[in-house]
Amino acid sequence: MGSGADTSREAFGLLLLVCGFSRAFCIKIQVDSEVHGIVGQHVKLRCNFWSSSPISEHLTVDWTYKPHHGGPTQNILHYQSVAFPVAGGIFGNRITWEGDISSNDASIAIRDLTPNDNGTFTCTVKNPPDVQSNLLPTVLMVTEQVIFSLSTATLLSIMVFAPSVLVVVLLLLRMQRKRRSSNKYSIEIINETNRHRKLTCMERISECCAKCAEDSDEEYDNFRKSVSNITIVKATSYS
């Protein structure tokens, strides 16, 4: 047990020496720590990297997978100029390359997800002379799609409360209609009261003047008609 820990420390120390005291630099990796997917759909596992050296044809990307329920780590994709998904295995041909090396993107996608795809995925990038300094895992969690369904209790609640809501709405409409009718009746009473109230002195004088004017116009019209008739009679007698 102690020898294994010593070996890990020695490897880490060697990596620091390579990154710190040589012309090589450490490649930085950025991934999502957790990714959630739904059975039957597809999901993207993101992997972005940064390297101080120019990207060359010697750059390689390796994706590995460790099942959630335990088991050996499996190589699922290798990239060097071209992506080579590993045939067979738990994923078959469901893994596709979604990366763009020119944009420092080494992502992959998995389609037709199943619950057996749950596990830990690791992206490793090498761009000589730069080496990767960190191995960051991505945990994939695949779940069944939740379908909303009404339970018996929910249906009973709807059947009980729906009529009550309908009754309340009808009562509100009826109250509003009565209020409108009451307002209309009040307006009619006010108009009738104004119609039968006593006229003031000035209102009576104005009404008399208007009536006299109408009578004068009528008498003038009658007088003019009489004069016209007399003129016609005289003209007839002379002829």
Distance (Å, rounded) from C-alpha 200 to C-alpha 29? 99
In which element (H, E) is residue 1 found?
none
What region, left, alpha or beta, does residue 76 occupy, with left being phi > 0 and alpha being psi -120 to 50 degrees? Answer: alpha
Distance (Å, rounded) from C-alpha 112 to C-alpha 107? 17
Note the pLDDT of residue 202: 62
Note the pLDDT of residue 10: 47
Note the pLDDT of residue 158: 79
Answering whether pTM is above 0.75, one says: no
Q: Which residue do the tokens 């750059």 mark?
A: 59
Same domain, 124 and 193: no
Q: 74 Cβ partners below 8 Å, 6+ apart? A: 64, 65, 66, 86, 89, 90
CATH code at position 114:
2.60.40.10
Note the pLDDT of residue 239: 47
Instruction: Dig out the tokens for 25 from the structure.
Output: 């630099």
Note the pLDDT of residue 207: 63
For residue 44, is it within any domain? yes
Same domain, 58 and 162: no
Same domain, 26 and 101: yes
Query: Cβ distance 116 to 90 under 8 Å?
Result: yes
Domain encompassing residue 64 = 9-143
For residue 39, is it within any domain? yes
Distance (Å, rounded) from C-alpha 141 to C-alpha 139? 7
Distance (Å, rounded) from C-alpha 181 to C-alpha 126? 85
Note the pLDDT of residue 20: 47
Same domain, 19 and 131: yes
Q: Where are the beta strands (DSSP E) in the chain?
A: 26-31, 34-38, 43-45, 47-50, 60-67, 74-80, 82-85, 95-97, 108-110, 119-126, 131-132, 137-143
Q: What is the pLDDT along the chain (239 residues), one digit of tens a residue?
A: 444 444 434 443 444 444 544 445 789 999 999 999 999 999 999 999 999 999 999 999 999 999 998 889 999 999 999 999 998 888 989 999 999 999 999 999 999 999 999 999 999 999 999 987 678 999 999 999 876 555 676 777 777 778 888 888 888 888 887 777 766 556 555 555 555 555 566 666 666 555 555 555 555 466 556 545 544 444 444 44
Query: Cβ distance 82 to 132 under 8 Å?
Result: no
Q: Which residue do the tokens 């009565």 mark?
A: 178
Query: Cβ distance 100 to 54 under 8 Å?
Result: no
Distance (Å, rounded) from C-alpha 47 to C-alpha 125? 9
Last residue of a domain, one of 128, 143, 158: 143
DSSP state, residue 136: -
Note the pLDDT of residue 206: 63
Distance (Å, rounded) from C-alpha 89 to C-alpha 43? 18
Same domain, 133 and 69: yes
